[in-house]
């Protein structure tokens, strides 16, 4: 893996995970970045420096022609390096926010505990694995699946207060914590990060899908986009990574980093917020 941006003058992190003069050039002779180096590259900003109590990052992959999936799955767009970064972003997060359709279509399972993140997570006051927070209005979900009934840390279900009460009861019976973040049947995306932060979940990662991401963009709550660009063209009618309502003014981001492996670009963009926001 190569870092393309920031360039070497700004590049304080050696692929071994060490910094400055103590870098050991041989530690990553094969070009492989350690998990620790990746974790450093993707660290969440501290609230003191970002001014944000909650930080919502999205991790998405797109084909060269803008498709967010192929034959209903994102896996055909992914790679080994993409999965490594996917794992690192999970390892850093307090909670993974995901749309119900992605859960249904991709057969989501609970996040697992990984030894390599154990010390870092404990030091950051995090649980052994991120909680999965499923966003749904209809709650047409199978609560007997391991994601809901056998997670390492309880799975959350984020919905509106007018969600079907029998489904809310079924979720609770399975051990799911139900979070209401909206007055009607749907979640008010602007309230979602705050509702999770109230539960101590501040470092948020959304893994999509495109319709949920569209809602989060419309709600003006996305702080960062980690976008992997796969060197593949799929054609067809798959949606883009954001599938939401038109917004009045395009949202601007600044480039925070670019890594490359096997022709995949792993970009990281951070939201430019106006001082009044
Ligand atoms: N390229 C990538 O990185 C990537 C990432 C993730 C997924 N995907 C792909 O994307 C596809 C699925 O994405 P999608 O866009 O169709 O669906 P999605 O965003 O995963 O989920 C949409 C569902 O989320 C719930 N939802 C969204 N906004 C809500 C709100 N404001 N309030 C309450 N519930 C809300 C609704 O669930 P209910 O229907 O239960 O009410 C809605 O049907 C799959 O093919 C998957 O493989 C790609």
Q: Is 139 a member of any domain?
A: yes
Q: Give the C-alpha separation, 137 to 189, whole Å.
A: 12
Q: Answer yes or no: is the C-beta of 78 below 6 A from any ligand 1 atom.
A: no
* Contacts for 110 with CB less than 8 Å, ≥ 6 apart: 129, 132, 146, 147, 150, 151, 152, 153, 155
The pLDDT of residue 101 is: 98
Q: Over the stretch 137-184, which tens digit does the pLDDT of each residue have?
A: 999 999 999 999 999 999 999 999 999 999 999 999 999 999 999 999
CA of 273 to the centre of ligand 1 (A): 26
Q: Is 25 a member of any domain?
A: no
Q: Is 170 a member of any domain?
A: yes
Q: Give the C-alpha separation, 58 to 44, whole Å.
A: 12
User: Which DSSP category does 18 fall into?
Assistant: -
In the structure, how many helices (H) and strands (E) does the chain have?
A: 9, 10
Which of 79, 136, 225, 226 has the most ligand 1 atoms within 8 A of CB, as the residue to mutate? 136
For tokens 């909650």, the residue is: 54
The pLDDT of residue 25 is: 32
In this predicted structure, the answer to whether residue 89 has a pLDDT above a threshold of 50 is: yes
Closest CA to 4 of 228, 269, 267, 271: 267
Q: Is 174 a member of any domain?
A: yes
The pLDDT of residue 23 is: 38
The pLDDT of residue 46 is: 86
Q: Give the C-alpha separation, 100 to 266, whole Å.
A: 25
Residue 152 corresponds to which tokens in the numbers above? 């390492």
**Residue 9 binned pLDDT confidence (cut-offs 50, 70, 90):** low
Could you list the residue range(s) of the whole structural domain that residue 121 is in?
A: 2-16+31-271
Q: Over the stretch 90-139, which tens digit does the pLDDT of each residue have?
A: 999 999 999 999 999 999 999 999 999 999 999 999 999 999 999 999 99
Q: Over the stretch 190-226, which tens digit does the pLDDT of each residue have?
A: 999 999 999 999 999 999 999 999 999 999 999 999 9
Q: Is 44 a member of any domain?
A: yes
Q: Give the C-alpha separation, 145 to 106, whole Å.
A: 13
Q: How large a percentage of the chain has pLDDT more than 90?
A: 86
Q: Is 277 a member of any domain?
A: no
Q: In whole angstroms, how far apart are CA 12 and each of 15, 29, 228?
A: 10, 17, 23
The pLDDT of residue 20 is: 40
For the chain, the domain total comes to 1
Of the two residues 50 and 245, the one the predictor is more confident about is 245
Q: Is 22 a member of any domain?
A: no
**Residue 28 binned pLDDT confidence (cut-offs 50, 70, 90):** low
**Residue 277 binned pLDDT confidence (cut-offs 50, 70, 90):** low
191: CATH: 3.40.430.10
Closest CA to 54 of 179, 183, 224: 224
**Residue 39 binned pLDDT confidence (cut-offs 50, 70, 90):** very high
Q: Answer yes or no: is the C-beta of 66 below 6 A from any ligand 1 atom.
A: no
Please tell me the total number of residues recorded for the chain in this structure.
277
* Contacts for 246 with CB less than 8 Å, ≥ 6 apart: none
Strands (E), the chain: 2-5, 55-63, 95-99, 131-135, 156-159, 177-180, 203-206, 224-230, 253-261, 264-271
Q: Is 276 a member of any domain?
A: no
> Of ligand 1's atoms, which has the minimum distance to the CA of residue 238?
45
Can you say whether residue 71 is alpha, beta or left, with left for phi > 0 and alpha for psi between -120 and 50 degrees?
left
The pLDDT of residue 274 is: 76
């Amino acid at each position: 893996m190569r870092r393309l941006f920031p360039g070497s003058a700004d590049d304080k992190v050696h692929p071994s995970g060490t910094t400055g003069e103590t870098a050991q050039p041989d530690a990553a002779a094969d070009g492989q970045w350690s998990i620790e180096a990746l974790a450093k590259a993707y660290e969440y900003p501290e609230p003191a420096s970002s001014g944000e109590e909650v930080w919502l990052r999205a991790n998405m992959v797109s084909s060269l022609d803008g498709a967010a999936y192929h034959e209903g799955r994102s896996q055909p767009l992914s790679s080994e390096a993409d999965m490594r970064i996917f794992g690192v972003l999970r390892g850093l997060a307090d909670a993974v926010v995901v749309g119900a359709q992605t859960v249904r279509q991709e057969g989501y399972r609970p996040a697992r505990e990984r030894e390599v993140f154990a010390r870092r997570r404990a030091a950051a006051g995090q649980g052994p694995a991120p909680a999965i927070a499923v966003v749904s209005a209809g709650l047409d979900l199978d609560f007997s699946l391991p994601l809901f009934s056998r997670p390492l840390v309880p799975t959350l279900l984020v919905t509106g207060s007018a969600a079907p009460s029998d489904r809310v009861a079924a979720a609770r019976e399975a051990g799911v914590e139900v979070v209401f973040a909206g007055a009607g049947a749907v979640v008010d995306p602007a309230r979602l990060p705050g509702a999770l932060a109230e539960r101590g979940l501040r470092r948020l990662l959304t893994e999509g899908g495109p319709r949920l991401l569209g809602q989060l963009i419309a709600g003006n709550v996305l702080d960062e986009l980690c976008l992997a660009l796969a060197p593949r063209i799929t054609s067809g009618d798959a949606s883009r990574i954001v599938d939401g309502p038109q917004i009045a003014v395009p949202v601007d981001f600044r480039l925070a980093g670019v890594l490359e492996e096997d022709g995949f670009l792993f970009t990281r963009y951070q939201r430019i917020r106006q001082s009044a926001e």
